[in-house]
Amino acid sequence: MVEVAVDLTVPAAGAWLHGVVRDAEPATLAAIPGMDGGPVRAVPAAGLVAVVSTAPLDEYGEQPLRRNLEDLAWLERAARAHHAVVEALARRGPVVPARLATVHTDDERVARSLTDRRAELVATLDRLTGRGEWGVKGYLAPGAATVDAETTGHGGVGTAYLRRRRAQLTSREERQQVASAAADAVHGALCELAVAGRRHAPQDRRLSGTSAPMVLNGAYLVDVAALPRFTDLVSSLGHRHPGVRLELTGPWPPYSFVAERPEPALTVREPG
């Protein structure tokens, strides 16, 4: 769902919201390219700073944006540019990422959103300080079914083939069940050490880039001081559950932990 700030009389350019931070040095923002290729800029209000890109409304206004979001090539470019800004901000301190395609028609509306949501945003920034998001993905480890391919038994070759095929399917199902139970155990153990954990839906193989089925797609908010123990735990769990191949990724901007509710924290809803 696209949330776009609209007005009956709109200026030529609006503001694409990337995220909210406590403060931002002008020199830092000047080195971060935004959606239009120029540097991002700050909109301060209520003791917070919204980092935005200038967004020409002939491309990022309500109707053009809805059309562009149907263009997968455009959407990929926009998502990469947005993520690059959020990632650059996250390297410098806590940031509350905005939902992709959150556009205000002017800076005044951006400032108003900061004022209206100040308590929530401050609480989120406090929660993220000194912590990072790490991903742990688990894949079904390769393994051959333990079937004697040479045994035909009674009933001839055709019957033997059916027996072998049934045994292979049973073996695969058993491996998947074991891997699923292992993924549950891994997630539970990681959540005990992390500040918070979220389990996302497994990625399609085309997105994961691997032929092995994904059984765990976890995100974990980890204290910086606890990171060595967390990485050691991931390694230990990998040895403890050989049926699942674990992959640690990160740190990432805290997309998974910007709000307790399912929708992102910074969805913009302008008054009708």
Q: Over its length of 272 residues, how does the chain's per-residue pLDDT go in tens digits? A: 445 554 445 468 899 999 999 999 999 999 999 998 899 999 999 999 999 999 998 888 888 988 999 999 999 999 999 999 999 999 999 999 999 999 998 999 999 999 999 999 999 999 999 999 999 999 998 763 334 444 444 555 566 666 666 655 555 677 678 888 999 999 999 999 999 999 999 988 777 778 889 999 999 999 999 999 999 999 999 999 998 999 999 999 999 999 643 333 333 333 33
Statement: the pTM of the whole predicted model exceeds 0.85: no
Could you tell me how many residues make up the chain?
A: 272
- Asked if residue 251 has a cis previous peptide bond (ω within 30° of 0), the answer is yes
- DSSP for residue 255: G
Confidence at residue 156, expressed as pLDDT on a 0 to 100 scale: 57
For the chain, the first-to-last Cα distance in angstroms comes to 17
Residue 166 confidence (pLDDT): 63
Burial class (CB in 10 A: 0-12, 13-18, 19+), 153: exposed
DSSP label of 213? P
Among 260, 250, 95, 127, residue whose Cα is nearest residue 195: 127
Distance CA 136, CA 234 (A): 8
Tell me, which fold does domain 131-257 have in CATH? Alpha-Beta Plaits (3.30.70)
Among 76, 78, 85, 70, smallest CA distance to 101 is for 78
In angstroms, what is the C-alpha Rg of the chain?
Answer: 24
d(CA 15, CA 114): 14
Instruction: Specify the pLDDT at position 272.
Output: 31
pLDDT at 228: 98
